[in-house]
Amino acid sequence: MQADTTIAVLDPAAAQAETTQPPRGIERAMLAESKIPVVLAVVLIVWAGILLLLYRTERRLARVEREMRG
């Protein structure tokens, strides 16, 4: 165990080479190219949801304010 730690301290590249494995599953998908459109779509969907929530909340608040004024 001590020898492995010593190698990692003295030669980090060698330690990384020993522990590097090929990507599997979701890692392979996320490391593939052309992920910018997917990320952009997710971000736009999240923003659309936030804006929809704000719009609906504003409408409900306006309705409650009208009811309180009489």
Shared domain check, 64 and 38: yes
Instruction: Give 20-64 pLDDT, tens digit per residue.
Output: 788 787 777 777 777 888 888 999 999 999 999 999 999 999 999
pTM, whole model, 2 decimals? 0.53
Shared domain check, 70 and 47: yes
Shared domain check, 37 and 25: no
Is the pLDDT confidence value at 4 over 90? no
Q: Which domain holds residue 9?
A: 1-32
- How is 1-54 classified by DSSP, letter by letter? -HHHHHHHHH-HHHHHHHH-----THHHHHHSS--HHHHHHHHHHHHHHHHHHH
Average pLDDT in the chain: 81
